[in-house]
Amino acid sequence: MNWRLFLISIIMIYWLSACSSQRLPVIQDFEVTQYLGTWHEIARMENRFEKGLSQVTAEYRQEGDHIMVINRGYSAAEQRWKQAVGKARFEGASDEGRLEVSFFGPFYGDYQILAASRNADGQYRTALVSGNSFDYLWLLSREPSLTDEERVYFTDKIRALGVNPDTLVWLDGSAK
């Protein structure tokens, strides 16, 4: 094998994978203990993993050095619940809202918490999360629906990212 070609191929693969990931500004002073628990999916950019699912929830549990992730949603077409179990870990500092999530063995995807609000007790209440691109974008809440103020705030955040909120699937049945 030509070692020069091999080395160039490795460099190209690394460069392409590094360029495919957007390092977006994420929340700082992140407290994972306040993020753990069950979240309701309010809106999402449709994706193949969740296509057609409703009543989607995500549960986060601390399990040693990682966070267990349990995503669950109802498929009306198949008349059954679907579930995916994975794990998350911090990509960098633990006080930054930047994690990686894996549902498929050693392959991890970005989980970037772009914005969040908190309850009076300090627990995160609503979160806007993206993957490595806006092809993966979720609006999550501790409750199955948002207040009017939260809806306006997070819809404005979504627009500020250059994403049209009308392109999202809104699971709570509300108007944008």
Q: Within a domain: residue 7?
A: no
Query: What is the 3-state composition of the chain as percent helix, strand, coil, each rounded to the nearest 5?
Result: 20, 45, 35
| CATH classification at residue 162 | 2.40.128.20
How confident is the model at residue 10, as a pLDDT?
38
Q: Is residue 13 part of a domain?
A: no
Query: Has residue 19 been placed in a domain?
Result: no
pLDDT of 21: 52
- Provide the pLDDT for residue 104: 86
Q: What CA–CA distance (Å, rounded) separates 45 from 140? A: 12
Domain annotation covers residue 65: yes
For position 14, what pLDDT does the model report? 37
Q: Is residue 120 part of a domain?
A: yes
Q: Give the total number of structural domains in the chain.
A: 1
Residue 158 within any structural domain of the chain: yes
Residues of the chain whose pLDDT is less than 70? 1-22, 173-176
- Taking the model in full, what pTM does it have? 0.84
**Domain with 59 in it:** 24-170
Is position 8 within any domain? no
In this prediction, residue 96 carries a pLDDT of 96
CA distances from 48 to 124, 134, 135, 173 (A): 27, 14, 11, 20
Q: Is residue 1 part of a domain?
A: no
pLDDT at 9: 38
pLDDT for residue 174: 59
